[in-house]
Structure formats: C-alpha cells, structure tokens
Structure 1
C-alpha cells in the first residue's frame, strides 16, 4: 500500500489494484464494485452521475441502468452501514450517487484508536515480552471505554518491528488516534515512554514516561495500564470537541451535537447547561434510543436539579428519571452511561438502592474511568460508607489529578472533610476544585460553609457573593431540594455553614 491509497473511516482503497481493506483486513471485491468505489472516492463527496459510473464500470459498452443498480447494491453489502445505521453510498434521485464527505463520515461515529507494539530500545528479549504484555493490557483496558473503539491486538501487532509512518498506519487501520511507546532497560531500572498521536496531523496530544525497578515489574505493569487508560479517554474527548468546533462547527450529525453539548455541560454555567440540553434534544429527535445522548440529557437535568437552578420544563425531575431509565434500557453495559444514569436516579429520583446498584456495576465494569469512580464515590458519600466513598474519590484523583472532571472528586472530598469537622482540609480540596472550574456551584458551597464554621465570616461572604453572581436565585431551600436525603445528617454541616454565612433560606 503506497501513497496513492484513499482512506475513508475504517476503509482503505488502493485505486491501482482495486483492493479494499477494512481496519487492516482485506475485503473481497469484484472488479466492477471496486471501479465504482474508486470513482465515488475520487469525487470527494460530490455527486457522480449514473452515466459516469457506468462508463467507469463498463468502459465503451452500452449497458442497462439496472446493471448499475445491481453493482451498487453489491458494493453496499460489502461496505455495510455507518455507525448511525445509514448506507455509505448516498442515492441522489434521478442523478446518481455519492459517498459522504470525509467530514460527514467522521462526524457520524466516535473515533477509533490503535495501540501499536512498543519498541524495545534495549534489545533484551525479556523486555520485549514485557512490552508486549503492557500493550495487551492497555488494549484490554481501553476496550472498556465506549466513547471510542480500539483496534484489535492482532491488527495492531502486524506493525511490530517495522519502521512506520504514523499517518500511513492510521490510514491503513482506519483510525484517528495512535498510541505508541518504547521500552528501555538501564541496569535494574526499566523506563517506558508513551505518547498519543493524532493519526491525521501526527500532532502529539499527550506523552508521559514510567520508570521502576525490575523487582516490581507486575505492579509497574498495572500502574502503566491504569495511568495510560485513564488519561487517553479524556485526552481524546478534548481533541474530539476541538476537532468538531474547528472542522464541523454547524454539523447536525448526532455525534457532533453530542460533542457540542458536552462542551457546554462541562462549562458548568446555568446558561450553557440549558444550551447543552437543547442540543441533546435535537440529537434525540434523530436517534431517540441513543444511550449516550439519553444519559447526557439526564445528566444536564440532574445537574440543574442538584444546583437548585430554574427548571427547563414542567417537571424536570420526572423527565430526568425517565431519560435515565431509558438510557439504562439501551446502554448495553456502557459504564459511563450507567454512571450518568445512576447519579440521576440517586440525585434527582431519590432512588438510592437502585441508583447505587447501577453505580456499583459501572465501577466494576471500568475501574479506570475517573468519572465513573467520582460518581460512585460521590453517591456513596451521600448514601453509603464515607470511608469507601473517600477511597473511590481519592482513586479518581490519582487517575486524573489535572483532568477537569477532578472537580467532582475534589468537591466531594471537601464535603466529606467538612462533614467530619476538618474544615481546613475542606477548604484545601475545594480551592483545588475552584482552580479547575470557577462555575461549579458545589465548590462554592464547601468554601462558604468551611470558612463560616471556622469563623471566617468575611471570607465566607466573599465566596457567597461570588456564588450569587453565577447563580442569583440560589437559596438554602433550592440547594436542599436537589440533594439526596437518605441520611440528612450528611449534608447538614454544609447547610449550617451556608446559613451562618447569610445565604437566604428561600426565594
């Protein structure tokens, strides 16, 4: 396969030989379907007339249009369907056919990642086996995430020992992102370097290194797997959001609507939360049973309810619970979907047993997802054992100490410390959360309450004024209404501190 090959999503086509590959594996095509595909690809998303297609497949021959219909149908069977269930080949009535443009194809489905065999820089065969084991573990760990798909080990290991160009490999495997690394042994130490690369631009998105002694090899391997898996997912998420804004800012494809909504949700502001919910409703109008969209719509409403913000509909609580249950019905065991829906059941629906069961299942399904760990820890803080909650929350921090989602864990830990009377510690954790996101209301709750309990009334009121600037309708009553109440004593110190600082009791 050379530079003349053409790629589209998981496919690679060589016009010189008429050969087609899907994720590195050959797809058997006849000469006429291959000729038709070549012309459609050359058009780069533009419509190709029936006359031009017949001339390509039957040069110099007069054939019936029905023959073209038969060959197009055969080509459709070979390609299968796109992630959204639609055909790769678009029929333009009375004119001809076209393939989706590259940006259309990319926006229709989440990205794909390939983990390539790590390069053994030392040449020691023992380290070669170790590096292969690390890569296999990373592939397995990444496969637990559903926001992207991972190329199989067998497909990726075809490139072992070969000098490669990342962009060419990405095109051949039909992936957007490539994870590569190297291993070197120096005396009793083993050092591994890992980097995540954009397969189209070859830009480095993330890099890190790990080093340990020979004696702790298995623990070292587990540590690498955990760190890489927990870092790759949010890095890809951020890259995909930026790519959608840059390349497809007005796309109405479901995946792009989701990315735009996600960016608005994580801003945490009241206004952007409403924007996000509107985008997700547009997506649900297209795919009403999409579990990722259902769970994020539930998340948007759950967040409004928990913050005590004005409702978007007649009964946001009932709609939030309905979205969460529909999301669980269609989730197929996706841990992230389960986490969002489980939190909605606990926080908005007050279904403590059902919600906690969902969250426990999500944590077991993907222990390397820091958002899942944060959700299960936060729910346990309200409804379960505080020590276990802190264990989950601190694990989430270890998985992604600088990730924006760390605000959830930091603020929940601050609440746990406040509940136990450790007000200085609560301020420390809440301050770290504030540095990550200045729009997250609960961070202000913890700072206000902890300072008030310490007698720092001026500081408490400064944070109260800052909260009122972003949530002007906030009251003790609105905050309390959105909190789980299985054990009211858990949240009582927060409410008491807010009252001491002078927060209004009700509107």
Structure 2
C-alpha cells in the first residue's frame, strides 16, 4: 500500500518518496522516519517510538532526532515554522498532519499480490535481499558481495508466491544491513535475507540467514564454500540451494503463523499456506483438510491462482491414490482447476506443474512432459517440476532423461515433501533396467520416507520380490494391506501406466504372486 498526500506519494514497498511523479532523494533513516510517521498518523509519535523504529532502540541524541525531522520536513516541502506536514508536540513528540489517501503500488496487478506488512499477518510474503557483508575479501572478488545477492533477487523473482523487494531499494541499506528493524520497517518486508561473504585463503565462503522480521527469529541458515577458481559453480549452487530452501521454509513458517491467528480472520494467502501444509502429508484426511483450506482461500480471493492450483493437486491425489469411489470425476476436477489457475496466472510454475500432472491421469505422458518442461523453464530451480519430469520420462522408458532429472531434483531439494516419489521413480527405472537389487534398496528408502503412500509400498514389494528378498517383500505386503486393504494391481498400473512392456510384465507377475 502506498500513501498520497498533497503532491507527494510515499511507497514503503519501493522505499521511495516522489513529488509529482519525480523521485525525491532522501537518506534511508529520513525515509524510514517519514514512513513511520505516516503509518502512525492517527496518533502522536513519541521520541522513544522514533528511536525504536529508526535506530532500533540504540541511544541517540536529541540533536540526531532533530536533524532527521528537519531533513524529513525539507523532503516534503515543510519547515519548522509552518509545520504543515510534520507538527511538533512540544516536549512530547511529533504528528503527521495532512490528509492521506491509500493507493496500490504502481506495479501491482491485483490486491492479492500486495506484500504483507511485517507487523500484520496475511498477504503474500515479502522478502528483502540485502548486499552481503564482506570480510577480508580480495579487491578483485569484492564485487561478489553485490553480484550474488543480485542473482538471488533475479531467481526469487520467478517465484509467483513471494514478493521480492527490488535491488534499487534493498541495496540502499549497504551500510545498515545489521539494523533489521530499520530494513523491515522501511521496506515492509516480512522476511530479510542477509549474508556474509569471506575469502579465507584460496576459498570463498558465504553464510546465509533468513530472518522473520516480525519475530526476529532465524528460520533458516546455511554456509556454502568452494575454492576461488570454482566461484562460478559456487554462485549457481548458492542460488539453487537458496531458492529450494525458501520454497520449503517460508510456506512452513507462514502456515505456523496462520495457525496461531484467529481462524475467522485468515486471508486468502494464510489459508493457502495452511492448505499446502496439509497437502504434503498425503493422507486422505489431510487431503480433505487441504481442499477446504484452498476453497476458503478462493472464497476470500477468487483470483488467487495458487489456490486453484492447490485444488487441482488435491483432486489429482484423489484420483491417483484412489481416495474417491469416482476417480474419473476427480481427474476432470484436477484438469478444470489447473486450467483456471493457468487462466489467472499462466507464468506460475506451480500452475503449470499441476496441469502437467493431470495428463498422467489420462495416460498422455508426451503432453505432460510439455507442461512440466514449461514449469521448470519458468523456474529452473523448481525441484518438484524436475521430479515430475523424471516420472513422465520413466513412463515412456527414457531412463537417461529420468535419471538426470531425478539427480537435479534431489540436488535442489534433498528434503523435499515429494522425496518418497523421487526415490520411488528411481526404483522403477532400476526395475526397467533389471537391476533389481539396487531397485530394492531405493524402493525401501522411498517407502520409509515420510509421506509415502501405499503405491510406494507396492513398488517396494515388487522390487524386493524381484530381488528375491522374500521376507522384506512379505513385510511390504502386510504394510500395503494395512494402508489400503482393497489395493489391486489395477491401482498400481493406473498410477504408473509404464509403456516399457518387459518390466510391466515382470511387475504384474510379481503382484499376482503376492495376491494383488
């Protein structure tokens, strides 16, 4: 939300003051002061509040406060005599005087895509990526402190669920990167990504921290290093690793915050993130809860593309896992919801991913491959897109493509919610290659991974049976009957309609041998 008063416009997201559409040059602390005064224009703001907001509670002199007030007045055409904009309440504080109207940021296309203010729940999460602090960097490598954050901003901008503050705003905080309150207040950022880059010996090391600006809690941190002559590879690795980490940790944190809030007041994005948490548990009960959350999100904002894509995912699971007596209807619903998501946002990788998976249900892997390829083109760090591409290649027996995509998915997201699927597809490819011993090992890993469903246990049964590990196969048979007593070979081939005929015959025979 931006504010307009007189001939001025103050945009906290862009961290910009303009007059008659022309930018006004203002120091970061002065702009933070203006933002705080306008945001709290309904009451007088004390000096202590200003110190807390602008200086993070550090001890500052009255002269410093007076200097920033004077500069703020100059920026908006005011002065200490007229006080038409910022009025001094002698001995107590200051008050913002003009009438203010709210307006959307110039780049916003829909209210749902406005980033949330850090001090309120709901809205699309927003993130500020700061230039890295440098420790002992060689002069010729110093540029990396700006270059890597710039590459991170570009990569994160591909994520349709995350509002990324522009470099032009975040890099103005080069000298105050440790002042989290100042950064988050000035930029209205829910999350702040900071980093330290150092050059010990002949190596480059980068330490990353993702902070929730409301709670001041570090929700993710990591350190990556490489020899100086491999700095190009390190830059790519940092970006890929970070994007995958944020895909997991921010939605989890958003769902956690939403669950602590008043459920009657949750907005579309809060319901979406809670739904996502239930979705990745892959049980019938959680899938039903996820579906209700996505429906509530659409009720709050019918144009939230990701909520429609979420509904497509729940319908896909109903059909794929046979959670409904009418899988054909669920398949149609999966396609319908994915189409609506794409109508609303054709550039969302998640929407393209869900559309691609609907073509698994109709046994059209070639069409699925096109949609999934589009998802990974839109976001080259989209682990689940690569996993789904690997699954599609497995259906047509293209082992090299499948294995390469599996390796990419695993490197991008080693703790992905669909990790059981990544291992399960590898086991299926190894069955096709008649490496049954290796297939059994990967299938066991898949079936013991959190979220694994009865179809993954069926892969484990087949792989162990073909490897003549009969006791282990018998244990998986018991597990399948426990998870889904009426499971059949038809369920297996409906979910995995592989066109590789030799392995299909071996799998069918092994399932029959165990009573499926």
TM-score normalised by length of structure 1 = 0.79
Indicate whether 1:169 and 2:160 are aligned. Answer: no
Indicate whether 1:219 and 2:233 are aligned. Answer: yes
Cα displacement (A) at 1:396: 0.6
1:73-472 to structure 2, matched below 5 A, reads 75-77=101-103, 85=111, 106-107=121-122, 109-162=123-176, 164-311=178-325, 315-344=329-358, 346-383=359-396, 385-472=398-485
Question: Which digits, 9 at most, give the CA deviation of each residue in 1:156-185, with x for residues without a partner?
Answer: 111113353223311211111111111111
Cα displacement (A) at 1:241: 1.6
Change beyond 3 A, Cα 1:484–1:288: farther
Cα displacement (A) at 1:253: 2.2
Equivalent residue number for residue 41 of structure 2: 38
CA distance in 2: counterparts of 1:494 and 1:299, whole angstroms? 27
Q: Is the 8 A contact 2:361 2:495 kept in 1?
A: yes
Question: Which digits, 9 at most, give the CA deviation of each residue in 1:138-163, with x for residues without a partner?
Answer: 11111111121211111111111335
Change beyond 3 A, Cα 1:77–1:214: closer
CA distance in 2: counterparts of 1:492 and 1:28, whole angstroms? 73
Equivalent residue number for residue 71 of structure 2: none
Change beyond 3 A, Cα 1:481–1:190: closer
Change beyond 3 A, Cα 1:342–1:163: closer
Change beyond 3 A, Cα 1:21–1:363: closer
Q: Is the 8 A contact 1:411 1:442 kept in 2?
A: no
Cα displacement (A) at 1:269: 0.8
Cα displacement (A) at 1:85: 3.3
Cα displacement (A) at 1:84: 6.1
Cα displacement (A) at 1:217: 1.9
Q: Is the 8 A contact 2:13 2:165 kept in 1?
A: no
Change beyond 3 A, Cα 1:494–1:291: farther
CA distance in 2: counterparts of 1:102 and 1:124, whole angstroms? 36
Cα displacement (A) at 1:448: 0.9
CA distance in 1: counterparts of 2:9 and 2:341, whole angstroms? 43
Cα displacement (A) at 1:11: 6.5
Q: Is the 8 A contact 1:118 1:181 kept in 2?
A: yes
Cα displacement (A) at 1:357: 0.9
Q: How many residues are paired up? A: 448
Q: Which moved more, 1:284-293 or 1:115-124?
A: 284-293
Cα displacement (A) at 1:457: 2.9
Change beyond 3 A, Cα 1:40–1:11: farther
TM-score normalised by length of structure 2 = 0.77
CA distance in 2: counterparts of 1:240 and 1:351, whole angstroms? 36
Cα displacement (A) at 1:120: 0.7
Q: Which moved more, 1:141-150 or 1:403-412?
A: 403-412
* SS of residue matched to 1:39: coil
Change beyond 3 A, Cα 1:171–1:468: farther
Question: Which digits, 9 at most, give the CA deviation of each residue in 1:366-391, with x for residues without a partner?
Answer: 12111111112212211362210110
CA distance in 2: counterparts of 1:475 and 1:194, whole angstroms? 48
Q: Is the 8 A contact 1:261 1:275 kept in 2?
A: yes
Equivalent residue number for residue 88 of structure 2: none
* SS of residue matched to 2:415: coil
Cα displacement (A) at 1:435: 4.0
What is the RMSD of the two structures over their aligned residues, measured on CA atoms? 3.5
Change beyond 3 A, Cα 1:388–1:334: same
Cα displacement (A) at 1:80: 8.1
Q: Which moved more, 1:369-378 or 1:465-474?
A: 465-474
CA distance in 1: counterparts of 2:104 and 2:158, whole angstroms? 28
